[in-house]
Amino acid sequence: MASAKDRILDSFEDILIKEGERAATMDAVAAAAGVSKGGLLYHFPSKEAMVEGLCQRLEALTEDDAVKIGAAPEGAARYYVRTSHYVDSPLDRAIVAVARLVQQGHPAAAHAFSRIQDLWLKALEEALGSRPLAQAVKLMGDGLYYSATFFSGNAQPADVTEVEMEALLEQVDALVARN
Amino acid sequence: MASAKDRILDSFEDILIKEGERAATMDAVAAAAGVSKGGLLYHFPSKEAMVEGLCQRLEALTEDDAVKIGAAPEGAARYYVRTSHYVDSPLDRAIVAVARLVQQGHPAAAHAFSRIQDLWLKALEEALGSRPLAQAVKLMGDGLYYSATFFSGNAQPADVTEVEMEALLEQVDALVARN
DNA sequence: GTCTATATTGTGATAGAC
DNA sequence: GTCTATCACAATATAGAC
């Protein structure tokens, strides 16, 4: 069984993703994690501490992913854009959850988010050998990620189908081939 | 002098952009607009009504912009990506403000946002004559917009310089030329 | 390590004077 | 049209029992 701390962070993530930051109260998180409010406050003495815990989880998961970008057989550009399609992985969940916190001005979340963007851009630039190309690729991936995860719950606007993703990856290939 | 309703919406926007949704309380908006809470509630009888008012402003501004996309001398693709650079225009401010509301799950905001994305994609597709191309261009613009406006206040991570924007527009030109 | 109170403050909304 | 109370409720956090 996962530790109480992990279960609490899982529940915190879940509510942030599905219902937004405002719904992610200490009360709601405690109930979802199956502990009392007092029990939650034993593990995370303040809400800020809980936010901090989630940020640390995100940074660790991103560092792993940055390594994978450089090692992807299909190439860094394709890997980045393809994995920018939200699939509810632990990394995806952590990203979206922390993104919600950033939008509310939580300083720790903003710092963590800024740092992971840097990690990705640097990994792309190193693998592709061109900064403008790395930026164009990153923007496509970010735009994709953004449109898929922006809306709370399942109210996504422009869901990308498999066919559209293939067409998009061809556009990416064209850019890489040109540079 | 602007009407009281407009001043209230301006202040609502301002706080949403700079401090996030949580800070945009009725109290804070009233104070920033220079009216009392009771005064505010005369114009907008509930917070939901105030949200609705901002959404209507956004939709009107976007409809104007969609027309400009089709008429841009530099071409629709260049126009879209270039104007995706946040410049604090009335449209930019409305977009970011409503974006903050979407992230909190306000249904009216989600609906308005979904609608304006549709307007833009359709305008691009019509002007460029290709759906995959329109999507790739839109994603680059959205990614750009997203990274520039995602963070509250001025805590922007990957601010794009003029030189970088030119390099990016060249990538866009390459895509358009290929299709 | 987890619980039940409870204190304290912030937030949306109402009532009614001017 | 705008104001000053004031209410009802929700949110973070504390204290102390088990």
Question: What are the 10-residue block averages of pLDDT along chain B, 179 residues in total?
Answer: 93 96 97 98 98 98 97 97 94 96 93 95 96 92 87 62 90 92
Alpha-carbon span B81 to B169, nearest angstrom: 7
Tell me, what's the pLDDT at B14? 97
Tell me, what's the pLDDT at A48? 97
Tell me, what's the pLDDT at B161? 83
Dihedral angle, C-alpha A156, A101, A24, A62, nearest 10 °? 80
Alpha-carbon span B50 to B24, nearest angstrom: 11
Q: Which protein residues, judged by their CB atom, are less than 7 Å from any atom of strand D?
A: A 25-27, 37-38, 41, 45-48; B 4, 34-39, 41-43
Kindly tell me if the per-residue pLDDT of A10 is higher than 70.
Answer: yes
Structure confidence at residue A105 as a pLDDT band (50, 70, 90):
confident
Tell me, what's the pLDDT at B134? 95
- pTM score of the predicted model: 0.94
Nearest 5°: the CA angle B23, B102, B90 is 75
**Nearest CA of chain A to the CA of B117: how many Å?**
8
Return all residues near B117 (Cβ < 8 A) that are at least 6 apart: A147, A157, A158
Residues A140-177 have pLDDT tens digits of 999 998 888 887 665 455 567 888 899 999 999 999 99
Residues A46-80 have pLDDT tens digits of 999 999 999 999 999 999 999 999 999 999 999 99
Task: Enumerate the residues of chain A whose CB falls inside 8 A of the CB of residue B120.
Answer: none
Kindly tell me if the per-residue pLDDT of A1 is higher than 80.
Answer: no
On average, the pLDDT of chain A sits at 93
Closest chain A residue to B145, measured at CA: A143
Alpha-carbon span A13 to B81, nearest angstrom: 33
